[in-house]
């Protein structure tokens, strides 16, 4: 097969192509969905000077990798259910097999997805900032697969398994055909390691995220609706402490009017362009 110049080819090459193609863009510009978007030079300079940066990511980042958002993951057999009716402790107690099977199906979807250029750009940004924290509301592990190291999972991980009764993580269990499987310690049901409606966020994760937001100099809010609390409060806490707030999202959100800068585009297109400009600014210092 012959490819034209600039053809990205296989999916695993998308990140490299995004960075390569960005080199031909004018300074402080990004091409988003065929339109030229200006990235303010002042923003790039503030990011280049920042020593403590936080990125808060939401479902929009994963959606660019083909992962259905939480409420979109209702197709086929699952179309008759509402996500809010399945993702609760009460639903699990009533119909544990149904809830377990739904999350097994979602794990399969996530496992087929690959990190997109936005994920890779955040991984590279981590290497350019002395103190960088990535706070994510996503449970798919795509940030880690892209190479990010300092990740705080606010809503847990869909690939973790917990004992429903004890709340402890379980790594192995007997495959005796039970659905859900049984805890090898107490024989209680095992459940997905995600935060359900009505449950608090993991105490340690929330404390670390709150501390990072309160101490950062710049916070990037990326691909999140800014509606799900308590994570939605983090940008406001950062702003109250004096941080610069930057929103990257293709649509307006509740945070938009409070952000210092808004880059109106998807993370997979805006972040690689911002990273290109950041590298150039740092090289000029």
pLDDT the model gives residue 71: 61
Q: Which CATH entry fits the domain spanning 68-112+159-194: 2.40.10.10, 3.40.50.920, 3.40.50.300, 3.30.1600.10?
A: 3.30.1600.10
Task: Say which of 119, 155, 229, 258 is annotated catalytic.
Answer: 155
pLDDT the model gives residue 9: 40
Peptide linkage before 142 cis (omega within 30 of 0):
no
What six digits make up the tokens of 62? 């994963």
pLDDT the model gives residue 1: 35
Residue 155: active-site member: yes
pLDDT the model gives residue 6: 37
List the CATH code of the domain at 40-66+114-155+201-285. Answer: 3.40.50.1220
pLDDT the model gives residue 85: 85
The span from the CA of 121 to the CA of 229, in Å, is: 26
pTM exceeds cut of 0.75: yes
Positions of the chain with pLDDT under 50: 1-26
pLDDT the model gives residue 35: 59
Domains of the chain, by residue range, sit at 40-66+114-155+201-285, 68-112+159-194
Q: pLDDT tens digits, residue range 124-162? A: 999 999 999 999 999 999 999 999 999 999 999 999 999
């Amino acid at each position: 097969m012959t490819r034209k110049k600039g053809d990205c080819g296989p999916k695993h090459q998308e990140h490299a192509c995004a960075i390569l193609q960005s080199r031909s863009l004018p300074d402080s510009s990004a091409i988003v969905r065929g339109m030229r978007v200006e990235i303010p030079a002042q923003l790039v300079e503030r990011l280049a000077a920042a020593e403590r940066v936080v990125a808060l990511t939401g479902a929009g980042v994963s959606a660019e990798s083909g992962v259905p958002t939480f409420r979109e993951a209702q197709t086929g057999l699952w179309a008759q259910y509402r996500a809010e009716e399945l993702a609760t402790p009460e639903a699990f107690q009533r119909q544990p097999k149904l809830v377990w099977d739904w999350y097994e199906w979602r794990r399969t979807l996530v496992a087929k997805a690959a990190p997109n250029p936005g994920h890779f750009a955040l991984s590279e940004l981590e290497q350019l900032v002395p103190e960088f924290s990535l706070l994510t509301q996503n449970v798919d592990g795509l940030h880690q697969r892209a190479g990010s190291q300092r990740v705080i999972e606010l809503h847990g991980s869909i690939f973790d398994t917990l004992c429903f009764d004890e709340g402890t993580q379980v790594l192995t269990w007997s495959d005796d055909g039970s659905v859900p499987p049984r805890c090898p310690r107490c024989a209680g049901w095992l459940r997905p390691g995600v935060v359900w409606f009505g449950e608090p966020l993991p105490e340690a994760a929330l404390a670390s995220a709150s501390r990072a937001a309160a101490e950062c100099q710049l916070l990037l809010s990326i691909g999140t609706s800014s509606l799900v609390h308590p994570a939605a409060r983090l940008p406001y806490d950062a702003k109250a402490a004096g941080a610069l707030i930057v929103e990257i999202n293709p649509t307006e959100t509740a945070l938009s009017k409070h952000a210092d800068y808004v880059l109106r585009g998807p993370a997979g297109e805006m972040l690689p362009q911002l990273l290109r400009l950041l590298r150039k600014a740092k090289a000029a210092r």
